[in-house]
Structure 1
Amino acid sequence: MMRTRFFSFFPLLLTAALTSQAAAETQHDALNVQVDQYLSHQNQYGRFSGNILIAKENKLIYESSFGMADVKMKRPVTPDSLFKVGSLTQPLTAAAILRLHEQGKLNLDEPVSKYYPKLKKADNITIAMLLNHTSGLFRDNSWREYDSSCKSDQLIRNTINTSADYPPHLIFNYSNANYYLLGGIIEKVTQSTFEKFVTSEVLRPLGMKDSSLKLTLSFQLAKSYELSGLVDAYITPSGCAWAAGELITSARDLMTFSQALQNGELLSPASYTMMLTNEYGLFNEEIEGRQYYLHQGQIDGFKALFLQHPETKTTIVALSNLHNTNIDLLTVDLLRLVDGRDPLHTLKLPESKFATWRKDVDIIGNYLDNSGVPLQVVFEGGILKAKVNQFDIPLQIQSKNSLFALGIDNQIRIYRNENDTTKEIIFFSRDGRYLSRFTRI
């Protein structure tokens, strides 16, 4: 009787399971459409170019690529594209330190005077304080300080010689100097290089085959840009970001790293909890009422995001090769989309002032920069635009000789000939830095 009853209910159970699966697939398809629409919009207006991966319950629910990895070579971004991720190196450095702690080779509460006796206040600074940026070190080495390749001992020596005398453990103060010192501790404890240890203990065991802690000439490495594909970004000399920011990786490798942390494959559950609770390499931030653990990175025009929500095993990885990408706004919008809500930061185009200034402005036409990159200013669909590479950048006229590039937040100045016709247009960043000059042809 029991067997008969079981089989009589089996079709109903199967139908319910298939219905549930179909509903999940419909929801998944809807998410893909919504995220695609949002990111296509961001890419069109020069606000994003790169890779996005989203996982929930450790299952990949979204993956897509947008834009160009190399504009001049017309090489698109693909899932295999590599990106520099800057400070997003630090969660890996923190994980390496925690592995040494698990192996009994160092103690997080021991003073760093054991390793750096000449460092000011070293007796009062612990390894844990370096991990969560509460050491009191104010020396925040900028990648741009160096004009040639760097050695690790040089970075550590500069940190020790110039660090401010500030009481440790009072306030959080983000400083790359903390992670230079952590890189040095790893080398002292392991009698190996930082790169070799992290590669052997983190990257290779997890199968992060596309990741490297040294600059490579891989064809897969994307180029980065400061002005939506117009101006090649500054390149930090090899080794100068080191344990604080040297990682080159793919979105898929970072997803592997995230899932390894959450599944206990890299650290013990206790160490992972310690990492989150004490903000060792990942920061606890509240976004729209929910707690997340994340780290962002920025270097040489690249922008990067690594975000976790351990309760739902949700991970978002976003890698962009456009300096214009606003990673904070992108984070909020992606989280809203995952929750089934509308994004907040799509570009809203104002009514054009073009008609008012048409005779005075005289900027429609074709331009070239010094490297031969073409730019075309057009008036389409009631909007004044700068067309360059794959982007349509809306322009808002502020005065006869001043424009504003919407979305990428660049200021544009117009320079004129003696007869008052436009000769050149020059782009400046939001902080006033010169970016590029285009001459009318």
Structure 2
Amino acid sequence: MPYVAAGDFSGVVLIAKGDQILVEKAYGKADFEHDTANQVGTRFPIASLSKTFTAAAIELLIAQGKLSLKDPLSKYVSGISNGDRITVEHLLLHESGVGELDDPDVYRQCLPNEELLRRLRRVPPVFAPGSDDHYSNEGYFLLAMIMEKISRSSFETFMQKNIFDPLSLKNTGSTCMDPPSPSASAYVPGDKAASVVAPPFPEAAHVGSGSLYSNVGDLYAWLRAVDTNPTFRVDRLDYPYGWGKRNYSGRDLIEQSGMHEGFTSHMALYPKDHIYAVVLSNVQSGFFNRIPKDLELVLFGGDTSRPREIKAVVVSVATLQEYQGEYKAESIPTPLRFVVRDGKLSTHWGNYPFLRVLTPTGKDEFFLRDEYAKVKFERDGKGGIAKMVWQWPEEKPMIFTRVKPH
């Protein structure tokens, strides 16, 4: 598998139709340092796939008559801006306008829920409830707090009693309250095939949004439940809470993806065909963005030719140092910084807690494997670096101006 050899994928893949598993295979290493291979039962943090469970739990409470989609947030959680106007449905649909917790410390430790609430109460809203939509981890954290208030139990206890145990999901739980053991370690791509260890990044910072771990077997069972179990079916909704929905070549697709530092996850359901796919990885590579489309090509026909190999060229440290500095795009508030570390050009953006290594591919050209982005530097009339062009696959290039040399 080219992506495995290149160090862009390590993990487990499962594809099934109905109750028949078509593919269930592990690739790469759960732990590169100790040469421990991934197994089909290896557990991974699943990041935003957690939202599908949180939404299902909220719908259970609604079905039990303990909660309404139109209930205001303030009925259960006090002190949040616009809490009287934010409804449960706004939170489910990412329409609440709740601001983001942008303090990087929030994501690097298992803070108590009350501390997260205290910080969130200080965050101003980004828009009026229901007037716009913006993907919100904080909104799903607040849904978990509503769940705890109504059930008088912890999020983890409620999920275990009402979803995990009834569905026999024995390899699913909370990354902070019940850390998985054994489980895969986290990595990001290096400049070559070897992966670089990602720093700790506790998912518990996003209880209800990204706090769970699982394996492909349990997630297959979960997909079967949301497809066929009357309690959890999601295809009845125009916009399934906690999921994304789109149409591919006339086929309805319900899916969700997730990413935490060093981990990526994706699961997909084709309800009319009863086809399920789960991909879990412990390498945070931009290759993962290709997986939904590639899976569809494999399942329903299309070009599945081998990917183009990224070939590195040798660039002197002196030349790499010419690219150092800060670069700014008009549409992005945070500057992008390039530095040379250990003889390699690396980039740092926003609250990312680590430097990301670029692979030189030509004169003034690089490839950033954890984004699968092409990076090209442009020179001025005197030969100095003036701009940088950032190109994601199938998207318009972004132009960055160099605003500060190293």
TM normalised by structure 2 equals: 0.74
Q: Which residue of 2 aligns with 1:258?
A: 223
The structure with more radius of gyration: 1
Matches within 5 A, 1:26-175: 40-139=1-100, 145-164=106-125, 166-175=127-136
How far residue 410 of structure 1 moved from its aligned partner, in angstroms, is 8.3
Q: Which residue of 1 aligns with 2:288?
A: 327
Of the three residues 186, 208, 212, the one matched with 1:224 is 186
Tell whether the 8 Å contact from 1:45 to 1:407 is kept in structure 2 after alignment: no
Q: What residue ranges of structure 1 are gaps of 5+ in the alignment? A: 1-39, 362-392, 413-429, 432-441
How far residue 161 of structure 1 moved from its aligned partner, in angstroms, is 2.0
Tell whether the 8 Å contact from 1:144 to 1:236 is kept in structure 2 after alignment: no
How far residue 289 of structure 1 moved from its aligned partner, in angstroms, is 5.4
String of CA shifts for 1:352-405, please: whole Å, max 9, x gaps: 878xx99x99xxxxxxxxxxxxxxxxxxxxxxxxxxxxxxx9966424xx7745
AA at the equivalent of 2:49? L
Q: Which residue of 1 aligns with 2:204?
A: 239
Alpha-carbon distance in structure 1 between the residues aligned to 2:311 and 2:2: 18
AA at the equivalent of 2:186? S
Equivalent residue of 1:53, what SS? strand
Equivalent residue of 2:16, what SS? strand
AA at the equivalent of 1:313? H
AA at the equivalent of 1:348? R
TM normalised by structure 1 equals: 0.69
How far residue 122 of structure 1 moved from its aligned partner, in angstroms, is 2.0
Alpha-carbon distance in structure 2 between the residues aligned to 1:230 and 1:309: 33
Q: Which residue of 1 aligns with 2:379?
A: none
**Are the structure 2 counterparts of residues 174 and 264 from structure 1 closer, same or farther at C-alpha, using a change threshold of 3 Å?**
same
Tell whether the 8 Å contact from 2:107 to 2:202 is kept in structure 1 after alignment: yes
Question: What number of residue pairs does the alignment pair up?
Answer: 335
Q: Which residue of 2 aligns with 1:347?
A: 307
How far residue 265 of structure 1 moved from its aligned partner, in angstroms, is 5.6
Tell me, yes or no, if structure 1 residue 178 matches structure 2 residue 135: no
Alpha-carbon distance in structure 2 between the residues aligned to 1:352 and 1:146: 33
Tell whether the 8 Å contact from 1:226 to 1:233 is kept in structure 2 after alignment: yes
Tell whether the 8 Å contact from 1:347 to 1:407 is kept in structure 2 after alignment: no
AA at the equivalent of 1:159? L
How far residue 68 of structure 1 moved from its aligned partner, in angstroms, is 0.3
Alpha-carbon distance in structure 2 between the residues aligned to 1:143 and 1:406: 23
AA at the equivalent of 2:196? V
String of CA shifts for 1:242-288, please: whole Å, max 9, x gaps: 11111011011111111011111643x5xx345x4233100113445
How far residue 347 of structure 1 moved from its aligned partner, in angstroms, is 2.5
Matches within 5 A, 1:346-425: 346-349=306-309, 397-399=361-363, 404=366, 409=372
Alpha-carbon distance in structure 1 between the residues aligned to 2:73 and 2:267: 29
RMSD across aligned positions (CA): 3.2
**Are the structure 2 counterparts of residues 83 and 142 from structure 1 closer, same or farther at C-alpha, using a change threshold of 3 Å?**
farther
AA at the equivalent of 2:182? Q
String of CA shifts for 1:2-52, please: whole Å, max 9, x gaps: xxxxxxxxxxxxxxxxxxxxxxxxxxxxxxxxxxxxxx1221122211011
Q: Which residue of 1 aligns with 2:152?
A: 191
Equivalent residue of 1:125, what SS? coil
How far residue 231 of structure 1 moved from its aligned partner, in angstroms, is 1.9
String of CA shifts for 1:119-175, please: whole Å, max 9, x gaps: 222222110110110112232557654443211112222222214152111222101
% identical aligned pairs:
26
Alpha-carbon distance in structure 2 between the residues aligned to 1:177 and 1:296: 17
AA at the equivalent of 2:65? G
Alpha-carbon distance in structure 2 between the residues aligned to 1:82 and 1:202: 18
How far residue 349 of structure 1 moved from its aligned partner, in angstroms, is 3.6
Alpha-carbon distance in structure 2 between the residues aligned to 1:81 and 1:55: 18
Alpha-carbon distance in structure 2 between the residues aligned to 1:171 and 1:60: 40
More helix by share: 1
Alpha-carbon distance in structure 1 between the residues aligned to 2:103 and 2:246: 24
Alpha-carbon distance in structure 1 between the residues aligned to 2:107 and 2:358: 36
Tell whether the 8 Å contact from 1:80 to 1:220 is kept in structure 2 after alignment: no
Alpha-carbon distance in structure 1 between the residues aligned to 2:26 and 2:160: 27
